[in-house]
Structure 1
């Protein structure tokens, strides 16, 4: 019997060469909610599934770029989006191939990177008409070459870079910590999405793939404040929230822990992988395996949401 996972992989790998690759944005309008951690985890499990994956870093801090093992890129996503006012515009669908580089040696060969750099922050004040549309056009240039693009958004309210991501992506995943910032970042992002995805908006087909709890304390370390914010997020977003309460609360019975569901727990191995510039799929140990399982569940649910790819 063919599983949902197999159906999704087949659908992504068998897209028509004329189709733009599937693109998933990972976004919140607050920092510190584990957004880049989720992005790198999703890239790792997608690569493990055998997909040709591109990690697109739209954060001028270039955190994802560094974690994917790319340093001092000769050409970055900033060069794709920038238009010299003294020269005729160059097609981003052509420029994107100059910006696409292999991930570092710790990552699988089927992972490539659209790297970021500090200068990308200048695009927030760029007066060039239509600049926010250049990322969507760039991804169209990857037709037939890439199965999945996963985009990491900058942690700021609105702005041109956030707009560019929401215009370019097919679907958006919202990580939320069990904190005030987790709640606020998700709520504020939904306001931005409502403008972009409205009828007549710049991306009316944008799908909100879900809200995923991120940097969730280990079982036994949950406090009343975490329960308070978990409840508030569920009340605000309803069925968009991935996982059920037991995925968050369960502390084990008879010494046996329930397997982690589609929630991303705060395990130290995550930071160890980031520091070493390796994927979570390459890490040993029980906590790494639990994170891999959670990332895979989140990715599959994101791609299956609301008329998914399979």
Structure 2
């Protein structure tokens, strides 16, 4: 199963959601890979901590390798690093992704990630792809490579308005490049149940028949501690309310075995 977590809007929790759901998958014994395509490297830092500085070559080096022909090409597995958590591996991001973007786009390497991840399916039960906050080469590559798409949503009117364009972009990728791609659901993040605006905004999505997933992820300062310590919630505090929400969200997703 290959999932992409995608939203063109920044600050909606893509990396946090990707990393925590992937960490739960690994914690449940599933062989799990996180592919970080955001040059900021938030998922990389979250899952690898200080070890990210000494990790194996990653996503940038993988894409660099696609720009030239080699009689003995590097195996995709060589661009993957183990995390401190059993069953959880990372193809790390780096700022070099930004430098490569125009070259990859002009050379039309849009299917290389799909081909590489399909070849890894025998090694991993789940592959999670974190994307940059833009519909660029890397995001399109991820959508072409994935079976399903999760869309983080942070409960404001700007996000709601942007959601329709985002869904159109996913539908276009599906029609032109990836018939198997589906929107698995909208993940409501930083939800405040006692505030009227989040409740009203989410209800509007439900009224429109959009696939809003349950449960909603609560706003919590604990997630900031999780980021600082580079410990996903399942490894930081299994009894915390937010951890339980992540567990329920993960267990509600399809094909988790």
Q: Secondary structure at the match of 1:82?
A: helix
Picking from 181, 184, 189, the partner of 1:209 is 184
Q: 1:63 to 1:309 in 2, by over 3 A?
A: closer
* Cα-to-partner distance string for 1:10-31 (whole Å, 9 max, x where unaligned): xxxxxxxxxxxx1111111101
Question: Structure 2: how far apart are the matches of 1:193 and 1:47?
Answer: 27
Unaligned runs of 5+ in 1: 1-21, 244-261
Task: Give the corresponding residue for 1:278.
Answer: 231
Greater gyration radius: 1
After TM superposition, the runs of 4+ consecutive aligned structure 1 residues lying more than 6 A away are none
Question: Structure 2: how far apart are the matches of 1:90 and 1:235?
Answer: 55
Question: Structure 1: how far apart are the matches of 2:189 and 2:91?
Answer: 24
Task: Give the corresponding residue for 2:133.
Answer: 155
The TM-score with structure 2 as length reference comes to 0.89
Maintained 8 Å contact 1:30/1:184 = no
Picking from 199, 212, 216, the partner of 1:227 is 199
* Cα-to-partner distance string for 1:106-145 (whole Å, 9 max, x where unaligned): xx22110010001112343224433111111111231321
RMSD, matched Cα: 2.2
The TM-score with structure 1 as length reference comes to 0.75
Unaligned runs of 5+ in 2: none
Q: Secondary structure at the match of 2:141?
A: helix
Task: Give the corresponding residue for 1:269.
Answer: 222
Maintained 8 Å contact 2:31/2:87 = yes
Question: Structure 1: how far apart are the matches of 2:4 and 2:96?
Answer: 21
Task: Give the corresponding residue for 2:31.
Answer: 52
Question: Structure 1: how far apart are the matches of 2:79 and 2:66?
Answer: 17
Q: How far is 1:164 from its partner?
A: 0.4
Task: Give the corresponding residue for 1:241.
Answer: 212
Question: Structure 2: how far apart are the matches of 1:84 and 1:43?
Answer: 27
